[in-house]
Structure 1
Amino acid sequence: MGRSQESFSKKEKEKKRLKKKKEKEEKREERQANSKKGKGLDEMMAYVDEYGNILDAPPDPSQKETINSEDIEVSVSKLEKAEMNPIRKGVVTFFNDSRGYGFIRDLETQESIFVHVNETDFPIKENDRVTFEIAKGPKGANAVSVRLT
């Protein structure tokens, strides 16, 4: 007769495996019993007040404020069109001849505006007084139609 192939350590490992499986099953059943699934729509709803806080109850409609959409400013405030002259005056503060670009300091707003050599009809250098127009570029304002004054 042959000896049994099960040793003491194999039996212990099997007991541990079954115990772990049983504990895992108990935890799963406990989670299912305590789960919040299947609750009503009212319990799942959340509301946001005017300050961005999350609430359980809907906000009071009598305290609701009406806001005119034209009063909302998302970015830089708009300048009056009457104030803005399309032809601006400025001084070249930096210009790199080898790369063909530089910056002009606007004398009215003190803004630094990018200028490229393709927008000039003549060579410019630092400290030149120029007139120019502003166009919107991919990275901000660009000076176009640059002329010496």
Structure 2
Amino acid sequence: MIKKILNRFIKSNKASQLKEGNVKFFIKAKGFGFITVKDSEKEIFVHSTNLIDTIKENDHVKFDIEQGEKGLIAVKVSLV
């Protein structure tokens, strides 16, 4: 039992691998935009509450990806 709990804890606390990409657009007044993931066509939603740095269109950024209520979201977004 303790081993199962410990394994779950280890899996949930593994360091996530940061992704990189470019800001497709960011509407500052509305506080959201999208990031195109490097080497992919995938676009990830980003909200202003998940920014470390101020971003604008075409900025090169690094970020983590989490599952949000409506899909994937970029978090801990910072400039490269």
TM-score of the aligned structures, taking structure 2 as reference length: 0.76
Percent identity of equivalent pairs: 42
Task: Give the secondary-structure state (helix, strand or coil) at the position aligned to 2:56.
Answer: coil
Partner of 1:123: 54
Partner of 2:64: 133
Q: Is the 8 A contact 1:86 1:134 kept in 2?
A: no
Q: 1:105 aligns with which of 30, 36, 40?
A: 36
1:144 CA displacement: 0.4
Count of paired positions: 65
d(CA) in 2 for partners of 1:101, 1:148: 16
Q: Which runs of 4+ in 1 moved over 6 A?
A: none
Shift of the alpha carbon at 1:123?
1.4
Q: Which residue of 2 aligns with 1:148?
A: 79
Structure showing greater relative contact order (alpha-carbon pairs closer than 8 Å, 6 or more residues apart): 2
Match of 1:114 in 2: 45
- Is 1:95–1:103's contact at 8 Å kept on the other side of the alignment? yes
Which structure has more helix as a fraction of its residues? 1
Shift of 1:117: 0.6
SS at match of 1:86: coil
Find the aligned partners of 2:39 and 2:63 in 1 and give their Cα distance. Answer: 12
Which structure's CA Rg is the greater one? 1
Q: 2:17: which partner in 1?
A: 86
Deviations 1:16-62 (A, max 9, x none): xxxxxxxxxxxxxxxxxxxxxxxxxxxxxxxxxxxxxxxxxxxxxxx
RMSD between aligned residues: 1.2
Q: Secondary structure in 1 aligned to 2:41?
A: coil
Larger strand proportion of the pair:
2
Offset, 1:116 = 0.5
